[in-house]
Amino acid sequence: MLEARKAVRSLPTYHPPLGGREGLRLDFNENTVGCSSAVLAQLRALSLEDLARYPEREPVEVVAAAHLGIGPAELLLTNGVDEAIHVLCETFLEPGDEAIIVVPTFAMYEISVAATGAQVISVPAAKDFVFPTSDLLACLSPRTRMIALANPNNPTGAVAKTEDLIEIARRGPQAALLVDEAYFEFYGHTLLREWRNLPNLFVARTFSKAYGMAGLRIGVLAGNEQHMAMVRKVSSPYNLNAVALKCLPTVLSDCNYVEQYVGQVVAGRQRLQQEYRALGIPFWPSQANFVLAHYGSAKTALVQAMRKRGILVRDRSRDPGCDGCVRITIGTTEHTDLLLTALREALEEIGLKEAITR
Ligand SMILES: Cc1ncc(COP(=O)(O)O)c(C=O)c1O
């Protein structure tokens, strides 16, 4: 048997379900109805020749860059943000370097960092998952070569203040600071273009969440032109497939679709948070398309009772500081109606509603 590299042997395993997700999927922060139907028409118009050719990323990068108001040299289209994280780590980390993350957070930062042989420095979020700016700054050292943060964060929905992120970039100029804005559309604040003042800053965006194209795998990594030239060297020239590249300009030209979807999610988020408030179930106010709540020892019963009603929700108990926590994704208004009805029934079934309201 071959032996994997030492860094790989000790990697944690990320276990997202890769099958058996039938029902209303409120477990993975996806768009619950899919992307603009204009994309389907685009898919139907694909020719065999389109599939025979190697994908041409550059013309689509010009369109994506114009959409974001940045230059094409400041952006790389990636196979989801997952690949953006991976190529950034491959570009900047050597074995023995340090990379800072704030936990709990998205699992792929730790995996991509650790796979390079760099050391992961995990800074726990403060009470109520507040962003730990001063603790993070205290961990900066000359060996810090990367800081990877999700803003809004997953699974908490919490955000870091823009000025704190800028301060971190300033205080760690030797480190690539990745601000992962996968949930930007539900929040509205961005650090896009700030790399023109702070060259060590990178911003990631995805088309997997608000845009409803998780299955096509399209992400963006953006940053300072010279830094992006180095990142490009690491990326495969054919990292995005031809089908995804064909669809992206179409989806970008139908902004109304995303706006109205995001509007429904933001309203649904309010409704779920209001419901939690009324029931006395502790939750953390979210700026993303999901809400994390504390069900304590009832978490497994809740997940099962919801599954029985055809709704998948996610037990996040394994994340640091999240024991007893369940994360529920918000979708369209119709899906929020279904969610709230099922939730009330499920709480009744597991006896939690009486316990809380008594
Ligand atoms: C913070 C964060 N970044 C990135 C991703 C993955 O994005 P993509 O589908 O573009 O790889 C997720 C998915 O859950 C996420 O929560």
CA nearest neighbour of 154 among 182, 112, 134, 175? 182
CA-derived radius of gyration, the chain: 21
180 Rama class: left (phi>0) / alpha (psi -120 to 50) / beta: beta
- CA pair distance 272, 268, nearest whole angstrom: 6
Task: Give CA–CA dist 349/305, Å, rounded.
Answer: 7
Amino acid making up residue 263:
G
Q: Determine whether the shortest distance from the Cβ of 159 to ligand 1 is under 6 A.
A: no
**Strand, helix or coil for residue 109:** helix
Residue 85 CA, ligand 1 centroid: distance in Å: 10
Q: How far is the CA of 67 from the centre of ligand 1 (A)?
A: 20
Minimal CA–CA distance to 171: which of 196, 147, 204, 203?
A: 147
CB distance 82 to ligand 1 below 6 Å:
yes
Q: What's the 182 CA to ligand 1 centre distance in angstroms? A: 6
C-alpha 62 – ligand 1 centre gap (Å): 23
Please say whether the beta carbons of 212 and 261 come within 8 A.
Answer: yes
CA atoms of 112 and 82, how far apart (whole Å)? 9
**Residue 28 alpha carbon, nearest atom of ligand 1:** 14
| C-beta of residue 7 within 8 angstroms of C-beta of residue 117 | yes
pLDDT in tens, the chain (358 residues): 999 999 999 998 877 777 778 899 999 999 999 998 899 999 999 999 999 999 999 999 999 999 999 999 999 999 999 999 999 999 999 999 999 999 999 999 999 999 999 999 999 999 999 999 999 999 999 999 999 999 999 999 999 999 999 999 999 999 999 999 999 999 999 999 999 999 999 999 999 999 999 999 999 999 999 999 999 999 999 999 999 999 999 999 988 999 999 999 999 999 999 999 999 999 999 999 999 999 999 999 999 999 999 999 999 999 999 999 999 999 999 999 999 999 999 999 999 765 454 3
Kindly state if the Cβ of 206 falls inside 6 Å of ligand 1. yes
Partners of residue 54 on adjacent β-strands = none
pTM of the model: 0.96
Q: CA 147 to CA 110: how far, in whole Å?
A: 11
Stretch (H or E) spanning 146: strand 144-150
Cβ–ligand 1 distance for 150 under 6 Å, the answer yes
